[in-house]
Amino acid sequence: MADKEREGEENQQLPVVLQLLPIRVMETAGDRYSNKFRFLKAWESSMPTELFLTTHAQSIKALFCSGYTPVPANILRCLPSLQCIVTTSAGLNHIDLAECRRRGIAIANSGDCFSDDAADYSVGLLLDVLRRISPADRYVRQGLWPTKGNFPLGSRLGGKRVGIVGLGRIGYEVAKRLVAFGCNISYYSRKMKSSVAFPYYSDVHDLAVNSDVLVICCAWTKETHHIINRDVLLALGEKGVIINVGRGSLIDEKELIQCLMQGEIGGAGLDVFENEPNVPKELRALDNVVLSPHRAVHTQESNSSLHDLLIANLEAFFSNKPLVSEVEDE
């Protein structure tokens, strides 16, 4: 029997995992999965998706997806045997959670893999905006230093009042770091956290009034869509800085652009946008913003530990063990 055939037969023994769309983070790590699981790749089939799903319905107990893969109720309805979804993302806004809850489908996400890197990046964007590091780098590269002289002064991080919108894992790690820089932290979240001593605001607008900086790191849900609107931006004020490592649609991007162009807020560090990978050209022309292509959570290290975690979740599921990073129902 040829190697290829033997491989094919052995592969047939592996647990089946459904993928609806390609997952970017898998591009460089496929080998780590291929001897453990047999992926059914819906997008590679010539059949319409729902027919493909219905055809394989009985064998599909696990679904593997990214944050860019919509998992709506009509897809879930085609998969009566589905018991587990493993998503490469921290956020779950792409999944119909109500339907999963009703069906008792367990969900595992990226857990803590991204928190440190996202927090680091938030601090990096904030330092960049306040101290003008990226524009200073452009200034030197363009050869302007000898001809135009001193680059304009930035503003000190220490002493700034930083309001964190969403004190989850990432928000907490941001706070921990900024304390070491001498910042004064307060936060907004749905509920006050008994585990931290930072001042709590039950209203984002009130937090903005009392902050020099807002760091947005909450989940994007129906409730948090455009949580940063024009009123909040104006409350932050003309020297205020906003950092977003959550999701683009947490901020009303059109209003943000207006505020930045009119000098109604001071600056912004943005890793996420409403219509990624398209970034409005008005933003790309501004000097008081730092723009980043959704890289806050991605490093060589986080990707490696992400794959460890995702594989551990799938293996746990197929061994009837508890998922490693199961998302608790709230």
**Residue 216 and residue 227: Cα distance in Å, rounded?**
10
How is the beta sheet containing 62-65 ordered, strand by strand?
A: 38-41, 16-19, 62-65, 84-87, 106-108
Q: ∠ CA(87), CA(95), CA(227), 5° rounding?
A: 105
The reply to whether 161 belongs to the active site is no
Q: Residue 242 Cβ, how far from a copy of itself at the closest point, in Å?
A: 16
Among 24, 101, 190, 254, binds a copy of itself (CB under 8 A): 24
Q: Residue 22 Cβ, how far from a copy of itself at the closest point, in Å?
A: 12
Rule CB under 8 A: say whether 179 interacts with a copy of itself: yes
Strand partners, 124: none
Rule CB under 8 A: say whether 197 interacts with a copy of itself: no
**Residue 252 and residue 149: Cα distance in Å, rounded?**
37
- For strand 213-216 and strand 241-244, is the pairing parallel, antiparallel, or unpaired? parallel
Q: Are 240 and 213 in contact (CB under 8 A)?
A: yes
- Nearest Cα neighbor of 188 from 273, 260, 250, 278 is 250
Pattern 294-323, binding to a copy of itself, x per CB under 8 A? -x--xxxxxx--------------------
Rule CB under 8 A: say whether 117 interacts with a copy of itself: yes
Instruction: Locate 297 and state its tokens.
Output: 């959570």
Q: Are 126 and 245 in contact (CB under 8 A)?
A: no
Among 72, 140, 203, 322, binds a copy of itself (CB under 8 A): 140
The reply to whether 205 belongs to the active site is no
Q: Residue 52 Cβ, how far from a copy of itself at the closest point, in Å?
A: 26
Residue 61: C-alpha distances to residues 40, 155, 306 (Å): 11, 54, 21
Q: Residue 305 Cβ, how far from a copy of itself at the closest point, in Å?
A: 9
Q: Residue 265 Cβ, how far from a copy of itself at the closest point, in Å?
A: 17
Pattern 152-171, binding to a copy of itself, x per CB under 8 A? -xxxxxxx------------
Please identify which of the residues 56, 132, 169, 247 carries the catalytic annotation.
Answer: 247
The reply to whether 247 belongs to the active site is yes
**Residue 4 and residue 321: Cα distance in Å, rounded?**
32
Residues acting as catalytic residues: 247, 276, 294
Q: Which residues bind a copy of itself (CB under 8 A)?
A: 24, 116-117, 120-121, 123-125, 127-128, 131-134, 136-141, 143, 145-146, 149-151, 153-159, 176-177, 179-182, 276-279, 281, 284, 290-293, 295, 298-303
